[in-house]
Copies of this chain bind each other. A is one copy, B any other.
Amino acid sequence: MPIHRATAFAPASVGNVGVGFDVLGHAFAALGDRVRASRSRPPGVRIADIQGAAQPLPRETERNTAGMAVQSLWQQLRPDFGVELSIDKGIPRGSGLGGSAASAVAAVVAANELLEAPLAREALLPHAVAGESVASGSPHADNAAPSLLGGLVLVVGPRVCRIPVPAGIRCVLVHPRMALETRAARRILAPAVPLPAFVRQSANLAGVVAGCWAGDLGLIRTALEDVVIEPQRAPLIPGFAAVKAAALAAGAIGCSISGAGPAVFAWCEEGTTAEVLDAMRAAFGHAGLDSDGWTAAIDGDGARIEDRE
């Protein structure tokens, strides 16, 4: 019996994780997007409905991340039926929480379920990335890969590698109620990185990866410091320096901008998450910004099918 409808949930994600610009990210399953994919008679991909978006999102397939992701999948596999997508946004737009990637991931996971010979999970990644790049203006998999596969993921060219996360560390995320467009946050970046900063940041990324594998929180604490991108983007986020200082003073292992911002993440030992979260929200409050905050595993699950019929 063919499947007529499938609904998938894809989690938010922390892109970059400070030190891994465009190449490191982790799932953040406290929030996410849902997409229902339904078989349709006419071939091709259509957006039927978008819920939960504070501002209107484009409904033309070519301008919609979910639409473009499924279109990419459909162009590869050429099934003899079309698909309609209903999108339910749970991730605020322009938050730095990987909302575009989550919609693209949920869409391809749901649409894939309708196929007679569905692709394996990892084979969906290029399609999700193709969709997400509609929003970011630049193809990179550091949100789509963890949203699809779960956990902390390093992207090395065509390869993805899941990095083990030491037991007992979690992620605190605070989103100040303002939006930053990813394209704008990319435009401000200098086109080159000074050699000393390149050396230090490379070591920091490798140090976070090594620290996770070795379970060495001291090494992660030393290495989880973005000396390249954060200094350029911090001025776009009112109060960022105070929020980061508050997180570290409350015991966070490290703190930086989630994706293109304005959300700010902190990695914390389990017992300190509540204190770190409160300190970060209070600091945004002093800067005049209301905020929402969440705590979730760094090693959380990736996208899942919630429902099919």
Contacts and interface: CB of A to CB of B under 8 A. Distances in A.
Give this chain's copy count.
2
A161 B195 contact: no
Interface stretch (A107-115, A172-180, A202-210): A202-210
Contact of A209 (B20, B158, B199, B209): B209
A23 B203 contact: yes
A192 B189 contact: no
B161 A202 contact: no
Nearest to A220: B156
A219 B200 CA distance: 23
A115 B192 CA distance: 48
Interface in A46-69: none
B222 A159 contact: yes
Which of A156, A158, A163, A209 has the largest count of B CB atoms less than 10 A from its CB? A156
20 contacts: A20-B206, A21-B198, A21-B199, A22-B199, A154-B206, A156-B204, A156-B207, A159-B218, A163-B210, A189-B195, A191-B194, A192-B193, A193-B198, A198-B228, A202-B205, A205-B205, A205-B206, A209-B209, A209-B213, A210-B213
